[in-house]
Structure 1
Amino acid sequence: MYNSDLPTRAELPSTGKLLRSTVVAALVAVVLLVTTILPAEYGIDPTGIGRALDLTRMGEIKVALAAEAWSEQKPLTDSTPVAAEPAARPAEGGSTATAGTQKQKADQQHSLTITLAPGQGAEVKLAMKKDAIAHYEWTTMGGGVNFDTHGDPDNAPKGFYHGYGKGQNETGATGKLQAAFDGKHGWFWRNRSDAEVTVALKTSGDYEQIKRVL
């Protein structure tokens, strides 16, 4: 009735072969998960391969951007002590900004400190208009940190990234940040050491708001 011959029992794969194939496929999936998917999507790199392939930084940025989007929808609550004070006292009867979010005029100064536990990351952003310039200086106490200075436009598309500079195991940086577009621009730090590290940031210049977003 059929022109093709049906396979014999001997030609069919045995249960052992099927089981081995399943185990091999599962092991390959686990290896891919640990070495590529976790670093690229979540910044988790238990093997170190993701950092060697520059996938971990991609995941850290994705996590930071997601945290920023979440924080914009919900008031910021953070148990980490953050000290942020204007350089000049406001006039009597004037209002002072909160530690988490500070609105300011151009060419005034702010400072804040953030303590990072081992493996912890933090991000601070300035709301700036295109071509606005902010001067900054950050230093660390207790060790070096990895950092990424970058910016996000308002309503940034998924996966967008614009970098100004990054480094590993650095103990400080000084310079000016000129906004490439309207949006949020700032710094992401992560403590890769085994001890607490404190980051002290000072900013001044033409920005509308300073906010810790992670």
Structure 2
Amino acid sequence: MTQIRKLIMGAMVGGALLIGAVLPAEYGIDPTGLGSKLGLTALAQDTPEGAPFEGALEFNIGDYDPTADLINTSVQGLIHLEDAPFRSKVIDIEIEDFGEVEYKFVLPADTTLVYSWEVLNAVGDGVYYDFHGHPSSEDAANYPEGFEMAYSRGEGLAQHGSFTAPFPGYHGFYFMNIEEGPITVRLKVSGYWEEHKEMYRAVQDNVILNEDF
């Protein structure tokens, strides 16, 4: 009798769920009125095909709060979407004894460059480097005459980092060989540049290449 009683009770509970919840939610059939009170009948109201959605879409985007213990909203401005995948490149820059090279990337504003460079065959101090940027000749009129922005300067054998262009234009590296003898600087980059090229090269102050920008 106990087993039969369990089966009967299970059937009763299942029937109650069917009548009180499933029928109102799936088919809009609400014989008890409970589905309407619980808002289940609204789930069964299909939107006609092609009809505009009349609900209000709310996105949980807010400003970054560095003092917050927990951030549950999307933080405005931390993601910058691009139209194409990022590029990656390994560039070996040969620099003669007493040589200088400037290598630039054309970047739109707010795009990112992740970089890592090192002197492969250093025996001394490596290079003097100057990571900087300037606008193109087309945009130069929008900036003060001779405008240039420095990002990092120093002497060393390597540097690794990420960079976001503050303005559109040419951004990149100037290297001066302070070793004794020729060297190779290996530059690894990933990012959203439009083009890249060697802009300037000189040996013992004799200019070999000087590209307009």
* TM-score, with length taken from structure 1: 0.48
* TM-score, with length taken from structure 2: 0.49
